[in-house]
Amino acid sequence: MNVVATVVFVALFVGIAVLGFASAHWRKGDMNHLHEWGLGGRRFGTWITWFLIGGDLYTAYTFVAVPALVFGAGALGFFALPYTVLVYPMVFAILPRLWIVAKKHNYITASDFVAGRYGSPALALAIAVTGIVATMPYIALQLVGIQVVIGGLGFSTQGLMGDVPLVIAFVILAAFTYTSGLRAPASIAVVKDLLVYITVIALIIVVPYKLGGFGNIFAAIPKGHLLLPPVKDGNLGLQSFYPTLAFGSALALMLYPHATTAVLSAKGPNTLRRNWVFLPAYSFMLGLIALLGYMAYASGIAKLPDLAPYFKQYGPQFAMPGLLLHYFPSWFVGVGFAAVAIGALVPAAIMSIAAANLFTRNIYKPYINPNCSTRKETEMAKLVSLLVKFGALLFIVFLPLTYAIQLQLLGGILILQTLPAIVSGIYTRWFDAKALLLGWAAGLVWGVWAASLSGFKASGYGLHIAGMVIPAYIGLYALVINFVVAIVATLVIGALGMANKQDATVAADYAG
pLDDT tens-digit profile, the chain (512 residues): 788 999 999 999 888 888 888 887 777 777 788 888 988 888 888 888 888 888 777 777 778 888 988 998 888 888 888 888 888 888 888 889 999 999 999 999 999 999 999 999 999 999 999 999 998 888 877 877 788 888 888 877 666 666 777 788 778 888 888 888 888 888 888 888 889 889 999 999 999 999 999 999 999 999 888 998 888 888 898 899 999 999 998 899 889 999 899 899 999 888 888 887 887 888 888 899 999 999 999 999 999 998 898 888 888 888 999 999 999 999 999 999 998 888 888 888 889 999 999 999 999 999 999 988 989 999 999 999 988 888 877 777 776 666 666 667 788 899 999 999 999 999 999 999 999 999 999 999 999 999 999 888 888 999 998 889 999 999 999 999 999 999 999 999 999 988 888 899 998 998 86
Contacts of residue 83, Cβ cutoff 8 Å, sequence gap at least 6? 245, 246, 247, 249, 250, 253
Q: Nearest CA to 471 among 193, 242, 216, 135?
A: 242
Q: Is 255 helix (H, G, I), strand (E, B) or coil?
A: coil
Q: Nearest CA to 408 among 417, 398, 395?
A: 395
> Positive or negative CA dihedral for 135, 144, 446, 475?
positive
Note the pLDDT of residue 327. Answer: 94
Note the pLDDT of residue 298. Answer: 94
Note the pLDDT of residue 162. Answer: 61
The length of the chain is: 512
| AA identity, residue 333 | V
DSSP 365: I
Q: Is 502 helix (H, G, I), strand (E, B) or coil?
A: coil
Q: With 0-12 CB in 10 A as exposed, 13-18 as middle and 19+ as buried, what is 205?
A: exposed
Q: Is 496 helix (H, G, I), strand (E, B) or coil?
A: coil
**pTM, to two decimals:** 0.91
For 220-329, where are the alpha helices, taking DSSP H only? Answer: 223-226, 238-253, 257-264, 269-278, 280-299, 308-314, 319-327
Cα separation, 87 vs 349, whole angstroms: 23
DSSP 266: B
Question: Vertex 365, ends 423 and 136: CA angle to 5°?
Answer: 60
Cα separation, 490 vs 430, whole angstroms: 8
Contacts of residue 213, Cβ cutoff 8 Å, sequence gap at least 6? none
Number of Cβ within 10 Å of residue 468's Cβ equals: 14
Tell me the sheet residues that pair with 360: none
Reply yes or no on domain 3-401 having CATH 1.10.10.10: no
Domain segments of the chain: what residues?
Answer: 3-401
For 453-473, where are the alpha helices, taking DSSP H only? Answer: none
Q: Nearest CA to 252 among 451, 50, 479?
A: 479
